[in-house]
């Protein structure tokens, strides 16, 4: 039987198959991980996870805002966290005051390491958060997370003492040089990461979404994110919506229409204590994506506020609750392990060299 070309199909009255809901990209990736992933364990907590490497999703922002509908995702937390990044903040006090709990565990973990050594009084997480909220001096001393996203985006520390505002530079580049290919922002600063940092200066919490690249095609602005570590159940739904919103905000400031958000994932994984929730989510049918409406007052980075962004027509399935996994990051003991491995490798090399002689 002769196959019809797309034009012939149109002339014959044959209907094109309906496009799949874009949320299926996310759901398909969950299934891919469950079916084809490799079982691993987080190096700090020992928690099991199943992962795949190297995947990508694309969302056309002219066809709805990609806030997942197969479970309710807390928009308030996403928008305030994004503003926290965009405004260059690094202290969790702002987040706590706006009822965003997702970063609380990280400064608390640092505090308790000192408390376990007898340097500070021990507190429960709830007591710690309450003191951050109500005690400015305590928040200033224990609520700050230096060298994370806000600092890298807005005040990257240069070797000559300057602080580089990458986000402002990106906006200027998009306005004045739209056809150039270098509108890139990186949060991956080796000076403060893992064993590359000086002893005592390494971040003890992970930076996961580490590089994004804007592109202007015609009058549309698109963004490609590279995320090295991707907690598929809890983290990635936040990341999709956060960077889609960032793309729309930067497009508005720079004078463009929103194009695509392209999400490139490195290690995409499901923690084993999230598997039952994932299986429940996979039973649900996606609903129509909501709309994100930006006020005409969105004009520049300095005056931007979360209140200028409104989410409309969001009608998702119910929440699927799961415990956040405080995993990854760097511990100074890893530096010692790394040195031991190098010494063992050097010893074996020398031994092999002697044997050959």
**Taking the domains of the chain in order of start, what are their residue ranges?**
18-73+165-343
**Predicted local distance difference test score (pLDDT) of residue 271:** 96
Secondary structure percentages of the chain, helix, strand, coil, to 5: 40, 20, 40
| The pairing of beta strand 257-271 with beta strand 220-231 | parallel
From 57, 68, 208, 265, active-site residue: 208
If one looks up domain 18-73+165-343 in CATH, what number appears? 3.30.572.10
**Predicted local distance difference test score (pLDDT) of residue 45:** 79
Q: Which of 250, 214, 211 is nearest to 229 (CA)?
A: 211
Read off φ and ψ for residue 51, nearest 5 degrees. -135, 155
**Stated pTM of the model:** 0.89
Tokens of 320: 């699927």
**Predicted local distance difference test score (pLDDT) of residue 352:** 55
Give the count of alpha carbons within 13 A of 62, CB side only.
9
pLDDT (tens, 9 = 90+) of the chain, 357 residues, equals 455 555 555 555 666 677 899 999 999 999 999 999 999 998 777 899 999 999 999 999 999 999 999 999 999 999 999 999 999 999 999 999 999 999 999 999 999 999 999 999 999 999 999 999 999 999 999 999 989 999 999 999 999 999 999 999 999 999 999 999 999 999 999 999 988 998 888 887 779 999 999 999 999 999 999 999 999 999 999 999 999 999 999 999 999 999 999 999 999 999 999 999 999 999 999 999 999 999 999 999 999 999 999 999 999 999 999 988 766 667 777 776 655 455 445 555 555 555 555
CA angle, residues 272, 275, 278, in degrees to nearest 5: 145
Read off φ and ψ for residue 60, nearest 5 degrees. -80, 110
**CB-based burial, 343-352: b 16+ in 10 Å, e otherwise:** eeeeeeeeee
Q: Which of 45, 44, 344 is nearest to 194 (CA)?
A: 44
Q: Where are the alpha helices (DSSP H) in the chain?
A: 6-12, 24-36, 75-86, 93-97, 105-116, 125-134, 136-142, 149-154, 166-176, 235-254, 275-281, 332-356
Q: Give yes or no for a contact between 49 and 116, defined as CB atoms under 8 angstroms apart.
A: no
**Predicted local distance difference test score (pLDDT) of residue 202:** 86
**Predicted local distance difference test score (pLDDT) of residue 94:** 98
Q: Give yes or no for a contact between 235 and 51, defined as CB atoms under 8 angstroms apart.
A: no
Active-site residue flag, 208:
yes
> From CA 8, how far away is CA 141, in angstroms rounded?
70
**Predicted local distance difference test score (pLDDT) of residue 123:** 98
């Amino acid at each position: 039987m002769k196959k019809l070309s797309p034009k012939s199909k149109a002339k014959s009255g044959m209907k094109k198959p309906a496009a799949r809901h874009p949320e299926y990209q996310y759901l398909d990736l969950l299934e891919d991980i469950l079916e084809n992933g490799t079982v691993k364990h987080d190096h700090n907590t020992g928690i099991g996870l199943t992962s795949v490497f190297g995947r990508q999703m694309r969302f056309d922002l002219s066809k709805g805002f990609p806030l997942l509908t197969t479970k309710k995702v807390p928009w308030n937390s996403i928008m305030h966290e994004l503003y926290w990044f965009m405004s260059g903040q690094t202290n969790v006090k702002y987040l706590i005051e706006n009822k965003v709990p997702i970063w609380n565990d990280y400064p608390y973990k640092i505090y308790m390491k000192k408390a376990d050594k007898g340097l500070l009084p021990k507190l429960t997480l709830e007591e710690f958060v309450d003191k951050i909220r109500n005690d400015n001096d305590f928040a200033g001393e224990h609520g700050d997370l230096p060298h994370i996203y806000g600092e890298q985006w807005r005040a990257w520390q240069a070797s000559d003492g300057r602080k580089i505002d990458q986000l402002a530079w990106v906006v200027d580049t998009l306005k004045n040089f739209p056809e150039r290919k270098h509108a890139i922002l990186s949060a991956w600063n080796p000076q403060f990461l893992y064993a590359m940092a000086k002893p005592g200066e390494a971040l003890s919490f992970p930076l996961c979404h580490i590089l994004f690249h804007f592109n202007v095609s015609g009058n549309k602005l698109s963004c490609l994110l590279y995320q090295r570590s991707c907690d598929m159940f809890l983290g990635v739904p936040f990341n999709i919506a956060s960077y889609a919103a960032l793309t729309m905000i930067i497009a508005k400031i720079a004078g463009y229409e929103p194009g695509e958000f392209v999400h490139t994932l490195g290690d995409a994984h499901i923690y084993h204590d999230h598997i039952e929730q994932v299986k429940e989510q996979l039973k649900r049918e996606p609903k129509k994506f909501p709309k994100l409406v930006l006020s005409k007052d969105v004009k520049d980075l300095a005056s931007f506020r979360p209140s200028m962004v409104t989410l409309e027509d969001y009608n998702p399935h119910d929440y699927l609750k799961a415990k956040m996994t405080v995993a990854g990051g760097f511990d100074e003991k890893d530096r010692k392990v790394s040195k031991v491995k190098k010494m063992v490798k050097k010893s074996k090399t020398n031994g092999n060299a002697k044997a050959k002689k």
